């Protein structure tokens, strides 16, 4: 049985994979990048509320490393 936090982390990881894959596939177009950046910041803000803060920091580090 998955704990709620683990389920939340899995969903967050899945969304991050979609976001990062889309950003890479566009060839880092500036306009598209900023659209995705705004979406990511919204996603990260939501995750801070619903998930542990450490997950948000980790995914931010992964996304922008």
Number of H helices, E strands in the chain: 3, 0
How far apart CA 14 and CA 35 sit, in angstroms, is 18
pLDDT of 60:
67
Q: Does pTM top 0.75 for this prediction?
A: no
pLDDT of 24:
64
Q: What is the pLDDT of residues 2-54, one digit of tens each?
A: 455 555 566 667 777 777 776 666 555 555 666 666 777 777 666 666 655 56
């Amino acid at each position: 049985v998955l704990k709620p936090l683990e389920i939340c982390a899995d969903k967050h990881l899945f969304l991050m994979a979609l976001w990062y894959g889309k950003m890479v596939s566009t060839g880092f177009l500036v306009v598209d990048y900023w659209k995705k950046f705004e979406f990511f910041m919204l996603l990260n803000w939501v995750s801070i509320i619903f998930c542990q803060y450490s997950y948000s920091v980790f995914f931010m580090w992964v996304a922008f490393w």
